[in-house]
Amino acid sequence: MFELPLHLSPMLPSTPALHEILALPLAVFTALALLLWSGRIRQKVLVNVLALGIMLPMVQLSMVAVGAYWLNLQLQPVLMGLLPSWLG
């Protein structure tokens, strides 16, 4: 897709794959969802804390991570194109 000059490649951090970023949050979300769905937790306060305090932010942060990852993939070639020609 886009080849970086060799002397600039070590300066840029490599982005991890998307499944590495989202594996743990979505696994915890699935485990908590199954626990809540089974009805084993009888305390209403704990159910609310798990659902609204942990699961909802986890899903929102996962969506932000997907957006940031996609934006990084889209913007990196554009920003590298803005570098002066003598640098590349």
CB 31 within 8 A of CB 68: no
Q: Work out how many domains the chain is built from and give that number.
A: 1
Q: What is the pLDDT of residues 47-85, one digit of tens each?
A: 889 888 989 998 998 889 888 888 888 887 777 777 777
User: Residue 22, Cβ neighbours under 10 Å: how many?
Assistant: 17
CB 47 within 8 A of CB 37: no
The model's pTM is 0.61
In a domain, 82, yes or no: no
In a domain, 10, yes or no: no
Q: Could you please report the per-residue DSSP string of 27-45?
A: HHHHHHHHHHHHT----HH
- The dihedral built from the CA positions of residue 58, 19, 4 and 70, taken in this order, carries a sign that is negative
In a domain, 35, yes or no: yes
Domain holding 36, by residue range, is 22-77
In a domain, 65, yes or no: yes
9 band by pLDDT with thresholds 50, 70 and 90: low
In a domain, 34, yes or no: yes
User: Residue 26, Cβ neighbours under 10 Å: how many?
Assistant: 14
